[in-house]
Every structure is written in structure tokens, then in C-alpha cells.
Structure 1
Amino acid sequence: MVLTFVNGTTTSSVAPYAGADVPGLLLATSFGASLYFMTRKNVKLGKATIITLGGLVAGAVVGSAVENWLQVDIVPFLGIHSPAAVVSEFILFSQFLVSLYLR
């Protein structure tokens, strides 16, 4: 989550869309880590995948709603200039909660 925050705050104002906006590697790693930790809790892989996908979708929906309300591309919030960083933060947080509390 810290890396996503740093990525969102260090977006260049000269070329804001020059690089990859969404830290896909971090999201993929969180998805894999969530699957790993859920299977370590003796959850079947199919059920763990469905629960993890549900957490991913829930985080994306909540993150999109919050970003739509904050409009960080117009007025930066806590130094975050990238809308994708806000959505990614909520996705990572939901993946964290899913891997900790659901089974």
C-alpha cells in the first residue's frame, strides 16, 4: 500500500500519463498473496479464488466511488494526483481484509 501511495504522489505534472498509471504488479502480487494465505488457512483453491475476486471487485467499486467523490485528478488529496492510485489503495486494503478475516 505504501508503494502505491508513493507512486500516486510522484506522478509528474509535465507528463502525467507517460508511464503506467495502475501498479499492476502490486495488484497481481496482492491477489496472489491473498490466495496463498487463504489456502494456508485450509480454504480450497476454488473457494479462495472466488472470495479473492469478490474482495477485488468490492475494493474496486468502493475505490471508484471514493475517487469519484474526491476527484483527485482535479484537486490532489494528501499529495495523490492519480485516480488509479486511490482505487488501487482500496483494492489492496480489501485484499488485506479478505485474506485476514474471510475463509
Structure 2
Amino acid sequence: MVEEFTCYAGADVPGLLLAGSFGASLYFMTKKNVKLGKATVITIGGLVAGAVVGSAVENWLQVDIVPFLGIHSPAAVVSEIIIISQFLVSLYLR
């Protein structure tokens, strides 16, 4: 008798957070009367800048080896930096 084990990893929480921040950034920028195309380009720029800075911070902190403030996942560090950059982009850029 062969038993099969199914592994369910759960939801992709950092990806869900990034999708939510992307949508929120677009929403708030269009509320400030920025056209959707321009808002999309600015939001993608903030996403890329946050990913670059987040990767540099994660390489510096090495949270997978030594946890920092209870964060063990490198993806969580990068996604948090991206969320902060999305917030700053939607708050200050027009």
C-alpha cells in the first residue's frame, strides 16, 4: 500500500501584500488626478526601486542566517521594503 502525501504550502503572503500595495498605489494616485498610464509607470518604477533596495538590505542583513526583529524570510524583508517604497511613491510623486 502506497501512501501519498500532499503538501499544501498555504497562500503566498508576500505576493498578496505586493499585489495589494500595487493596487492601492494605483488607486490613490488616480484619486490625486494622475492619469492611469502615468500612475502605472510611476508605480512600476517604485516597485523596481523597492526591489533593488530591498535586495541590497536583505543581502546586508542576511535574515535567513541571523533573524532580524523576528523576520526569518528574505522574501519578507524585500516585500516590506517594496511596500514602503510603494507608499512613498504614492504619497509624494505626482
- What TM-score range do you get, normalising by the shorter chain? 0.7 to 0.9
Q: Take 1:18 and 1:54, find their aligned partners in 2: how far apart are those partners?
A: 31
The TM-score normalised by the length of structure 1 is 0.79
Answer with 1 or 2: which has the greater Rg: 2
- Work out the percentage of aligned pairs sharing the same amino acid: 90
Displacement of 1:64 after TM fit?
0.2
Q: Deviations over 1:8-41 (max 9, x none)?
A: xxxxxxxxx9455652111101100100100111
Residues 39, 56 of structure 1: alpha-carbon distance in 2 compared, 3 angstrom cutoff: same
RMSD over aligned CA atoms reads 8.5
> Residue by residue, what CA displacement relative to the aligned partner does 1:48-93 show, whole Å, maximum 9, x if unpaired?
0000000000000000000001100001011110000000000000
| Unaligned runs of at least 5 residues, structure 2 | none
Runs of 4 or more off by more than 4 Å in structure 1? 1-5, 17-22
